Structure formats: structure tokens, C-alpha cells
Structure 1
């Protein structure tokens, strides 16, 4: 099921007049090869560099990774696995470079090599003396999803939705944010049937929800607390995303007004999203709708999603690109006011030929 994605990469190589792509982010490696690189604990101490996917303009594909990343490798994938972890002292960097050299000889890699400049390891520069950036071209090629990607994203969306449904029942007075989040995560991982890397947040209380960038903690929920529950699980290499806002007990009138504005703006997004609309115009319509109610938000209106939780395009005022069929976009209007709290409402939307397909399955009420 990776061939269609590899063909997209080859189209980028043709556009750039390059011979090979060497991809070095975990999400791009997954996109090109289907291999899910563990990310939950960050970069492994048992690797000499990031796992690499090689994609040739003429059809060859290969993977270089450490032995700690080599579980579940497809037998059809050309792979060079090097010793990163062993019962003795190993030089992971030397082993990594040697594995890259073996792969380059194996696939006859040469000519102009396109790389991800933001993550390409400097230790390989002398092995690949002629390279050019492909970051932006690759981002745009990945924005329109293939049929297999849409299926994978739909599964991830269902896991995020299960977490949102659980959040409503688990959010109770005198339970801590961490306790609720742990319960939500257990529900999502049971639904996924695997351990899920998780992005997002679970925040409760006026002060916590009104501030951006805070983390869940041991604060216990009080009667009337507003909650922001933002859940983004990675399932089999693809991310779902979602955000719901609600109160534990009756909301204040001021909070309810914010919530109604954010929810109605999300419904506006669902009703107006379509191919051919500029992202700039789409963003402006959402912000204008909230401004009519006296609210605004200091972040993007949304973003793409796939093998990375945040992908191009970002829905921001300066982006003039067109929305295209089979993009999958997160749309997340919100409002945050000291003394009242915060709200954010987010659904996962596939752009269809005529509008929007809502992929997340929980309700705002």
C-alpha cells in the first residue's frame, strides 16, 4: 500500500530534477516505507542517526535503521540494519555510517540527492556530496491523501473519538487531570489495540483552560470547572486529532457564550469547506465569525494531518494555497479569557469533491 505514496515522492524528484530522496524524519520514513519508528521516548540512545528511507526516481526503495527500530520489518523492503544496541560497547555512529554506505552501494545511489534539510544528519554530508532541499515540495505532495491513507486516518480518528467520549464520563469532581488523562489513554489504546504515542492536553479549571501551553497536573476538578480535552493519538503510524470543551456541572453564562461561538464557527467550517477555496479565505471566514461574537484566538485555525500530527497546510491568514480534494484538515477555533476559562472545538475533516466529510465521531453539546 506504500507504492502510491512512493510515486508521489518520485513526482517530487522529477519536479526537482533529483535522482534520489533520502528521508530522515520518522513521519516521512513511515510515509515512504510504512515502517513505524518508535517516537514516544524521543531519539533513541541506541542509534547513530535517524532512520533513513531511500526512494529512487527509477523505482528502488530502501531503509536504514538500528536493530532497536527493526521490529516488524516487511520482508519485501530492502533494509540495512546496524548494531545500535548490544551487550558490549558499540560505536553507533560508525555503524550507522557503514550501514548507509552499504545501502548506497546496494541501490547504486548517486547523482543529485534530495533531502529534508531540517533533519538530514551532517555526519552523512561527505557520503552525499550533491544534495538539495525537498522539504517544501514534499510537504505539498503529502497534503493530498491517498485512499489507503484516508482509511488509516479514519481508524486514527475513531480512536481519538473513543477518547473524547470517555473524557465526558471520566471527568468528575475531585478527580485529578492526570487521572482522567490516564483513563482516556487506556480507552484509546484498548480501541487501537496497541500502545499509542499521544499529543494534546487535558486541562480543567478557569485558569488552566484560559492559558495556552500548560500541561495536565495533579489539580483536582471542581464543580463548574471548564475542561479542554485535546487528544491526538498515533495509530499504526497515522495520527488522529480532536478537541472538545465542556464543563463539569453547569457552565457560567460567559463561558457558554464562548463555547457557542467556537462550536458554531466549527459548524461554519464544515458547511463551507470545499476544494478551490483558498486557505487564506477559509481562515478569514472563521476568524470573522468569532469576532462578530467578540472573541478571537491566537493560534492557527487548523492544520493538515497524516504521518505527522501537524502537516502542511497550516490554516493561517498568510497562506494563499488552494484547498484540494482529499486533503485531511484539522479545524480548531477557540477562545481563551482570564477569569472565564477557555474553549476549543476541533474536528478532523476530509475534503470531498463537494464539501467536507467529518471523520471524528463525537458530539459537541
Structure 2
């Protein structure tokens, strides 16, 4: 490549430090140029670490003018980020003088190995979530509304310094626990429910992601058996993680145990995903994973069982791969916990 054009804001932040909401980064072997509009020029001058900062009126024109100024003929772009319409605009504006080359696999692992500072930010975000749940725990009782619990958690993390929630919080109780992405609803919690809470916070641009399943009083024996199965699958996967271990094997450790326990058909998603500037990023931990664990990777371990008409359980921790194993960044206990009703 003579140059690579970055438009994904997470990649841009990672590469040059810009935290605004609009811009482009042109990387070349000898000179890097950040481009933005007048709203962010002053911010960029205080944040961005590049050789050149340029202000544009029209983004596409600014990018092409920059590429022409450096004589770029073969230009890579983020194939998984740039829309077809944007690519067509770039091709039309640049004419036949520039060849646009899609880069997908080549950029997928760009942010997959985290620095100490990145890991520290995610661990602090997870700490905010642990403190927030401890505050909200007394609200989780029969009659409480799922949506109210989610709102209370969001307020609690922001009171503690979170920039934003990582995603729309999942609070799924009773039969709704069978929904892996059961966004908080107007359902009222009932005695005998399992309540799955999946939430996270963003701090300094970095996310946390964690799921806990709690019992409201005594639950049906099968629900308890499902919980114990998921927890054992979770623990087996965690114990396997160390540098050099294939991530598909980590997934298989949990998946096989769930299948051997008779619930294989009720665990359909991958075991985990990378976390960082985006809440879902490289690496993927699934049967299709094609990489091995490396020191500095951060990803989730989140097995689940979801039985329609009955309920479900998911248990999730976020871990950092160390030189000899894995360290949990999330700190909410995941053992079976019964809340008084």
C-alpha cells in the first residue's frame, strides 16, 4: 500500500488519539495526516499525534486531495467499516489514478493485544460496575420492573464516573431469561425467578462487559441445575486459557460440557468476544475462531443455556491473558446467589 485510509473512529482513536465523532486518518510510510472539519480542528491540535492536521469542508474531497498530495496510487481501506456508497464516492472523486484495495483480515487484529494502560481502563470500568450492582442489589426483588433495574444501574455507573454504558443493559427474568439479548422490559420480577443482568461501563473510551444471574428466592430444581451447568462450563473454559491455546478449544471446553449435560441445543452463540474501544472486537472465541490466545488479549467468557418457556442462565467474566494463564478483570462473584424475597 502507498497509503491506508481509516474512517473507523475506534481505529482512529487507537492510532492517533482523536476522540471526536468525525474525521479521517491517512497513514503512509513516511507521513500521517489527520483530517477533520472546523468543529474539531482545535480539539485535534490538542489531541492528535500525527505529522499533519488538515481541515476539510467535504470529507471525501479532503481525503482524495491528501492522497494526491503524497502521490498515492494503491490505497487500502477498512473493508468492514466503509460503506459501499462511501467507496463509490472515493472512486468517483479519485478517478482511475488510485486503486482502492479492501483490507479486512489484515486489520482485524489491529487492536487485539492490549497495553497495560488499556487493561487498567477496562478493569476500572468493571470495578465501577461491581460497585453499581452492589448499590442496586436491594432493588432486585419481586415486583420490581426490569427496566427500572436497568435505569438504576445506568444511573449508578454514571454517578461513579463512567462516560457511558457499554450497551443497552439486559435484564431478563423468568421465562425471558431464555432470550440471550433480552433487553430490559416492563416485566415485573417474581419470586422463584432467575434474573440475568448483562451490563458494562465505558471509561476513557474502553468498555467492560459482564453478566451475572441471580435467584429470587427458591427456584425450580431444573433452573438450579442449569445454573450449575453454566457455572462449571464457565470455570472449565477459564482454567484452559493461557498463551498458545487455540481459542476454539476454549470454546469447546465449555460447549462440550454443556452438551454432555444435555443442554447442547440451548447454547447457540460463541463463548466470547474481544473487548476494548469497542464492546465487540477481535478476537472471537467460538467454534470458528482461527487464532490462539496471546498475552495482552482481553475477551469475555460467557457460556449460557436458554430454554424457551422455562428461562435461562448466562455467566460472563472479562479476562486478560497473562504470561501463564488468565486474570479476571471483572470482580462480581459468579457463584449461585439467592436474594431474599
What is the TM-score of this pair, normalised by structure 2? 0.85
Q: 1:125 aligns with which of 86, 91, 95?
A: 91
Equivalent residues of 1:64, 1:80 under 8 A apart: yes
Does 1:246 find its partner at 2:214?
A: yes
Secondary structure in structure 2 of the residue aligned to 1:73: helix
Secondary structure in structure 1 of the residue aligned to 2:199: strand
Counterparts of 1:114 and 1:168 in 2: how far apart (Å)?
Answer: 49
Deviation at 1:360, TM superposition (A): 0.7
Q: Which runs of 5+ in 1 are unaligned?
A: 1-17, 39-49, 84-94
1:99-114 to 2 correspondences below 5 Å: 99-101=62-64, 103-104=66-67, 108=70, 110-114=72-76
Secondary structure in structure 2 of the residue aligned to 1:199: coil
Equivalent residues of 1:349, 1:356 under 8 A apart: yes
Counterparts of 2:188 and 2:313 in 1: how far apart (Å)?
Answer: 19
Counterparts of 1:184 and 1:167 in 2: how far apart (Å)?
Answer: 6
Counterparts of 1:346 and 1:188 in 2: how far apart (Å)?
Answer: 18
Question: In the alignment, what sits opposite 1:12?
Answer: none
Counterparts of 2:305 and 2:63 in 1: how far apart (Å)?
Answer: 48
Q: 2:60 aligns with which of 97, 115, 118?
A: 97
Question: In the alignment, what sits opposite 2:34?
Answer: 62
Write out per-residue CA displacement over residues 40-95 of structure 1, whole angstroms, 9 at most, x where no aligned residue.
xxxxxxxxxx632222222524143572x668435252444456xxxxxxxxxxx3
Deviation at 1:313, TM superposition (A): 2.0
Equivalent residues of 1:164, 1:231 under 8 A apart: no
Q: 1:114 to 1:156 in 2, by over 3 A?
A: farther
Q: 1:75 aligns with which of 46, 49, 52?
A: 46
Write out per-residue CA displacement over residues 163-195 of structure 1, whole angstroms, 9 at most, x where no aligned residue.
44345333122221111111101111122253x
Question: In the alignment, what sits opposite 2:131?
Answer: 162
Deviation at 1:232, TM superposition (A): 2.9
Q: 1:156 to 1:80 in 2, by over 3 A?
A: farther
Deviation at 1:258, TM superposition (A): 1.0
Counterparts of 1:347 and 1:359 in 2: how far apart (Å)?
Answer: 7
Equivalent residues of 1:202, 1:227 under 8 A apart: no
Write out per-residue CA displacement over residues 122-151 of structure 1, whole angstroms, 9 at most, x where no aligned residue.
222244522212221111232111233222
Counterparts of 1:237 and 1:63 in 2: how far apart (Å)?
Answer: 21
Counterparts of 1:109 and 1:150 in 2: how far apart (Å)?
Answer: 39
Question: Which range moves more in the overlay, 293-302 or 214-223?
Answer: 214-223
Deviation at 1:210, TM superposition (A): 1.0
Counterparts of 1:19 and 1:333 in 2: how far apart (Å)?
Answer: 43
Question: In the alignment, what sits opposite 1:331?
Answer: 301
Counterparts of 1:66 and 1:158 in 2: how far apart (Å)?
Answer: 37
Question: Which range moves more in the overlay, 151-160 or 267-276?
Answer: 151-160
Q: Which runs of 5+ in 2 are unaligned?
A: 336-341
Q: 1:19 to 1:201 in 2, by over 3 A?
A: same
Counterparts of 1:164 and 1:71 in 2: how far apart (Å)?
Answer: 39
Does 1:19 find its partner at 2:2?
A: yes
- Equivalent pairs counted in the alignment come to 323
Q: 1:165 to 1:30 in 2, by over 3 A?
A: farther
Question: In the alignment, what sits opposite 1:266?
Answer: 234
Counterparts of 1:63 and 1:330 in 2: how far apart (Å)?
Answer: 34
Counterparts of 1:23 and 1:73 in 2: how far apart (Å)?
Answer: 16
Question: Which range moves more in the overlay, 162-171 or 288-297?
Answer: 162-171
Counterparts of 1:125 and 1:35 in 2: how far apart (Å)?
Answer: 26
Counterparts of 1:167 and 1:343 in 2: how far apart (Å)?
Answer: 20
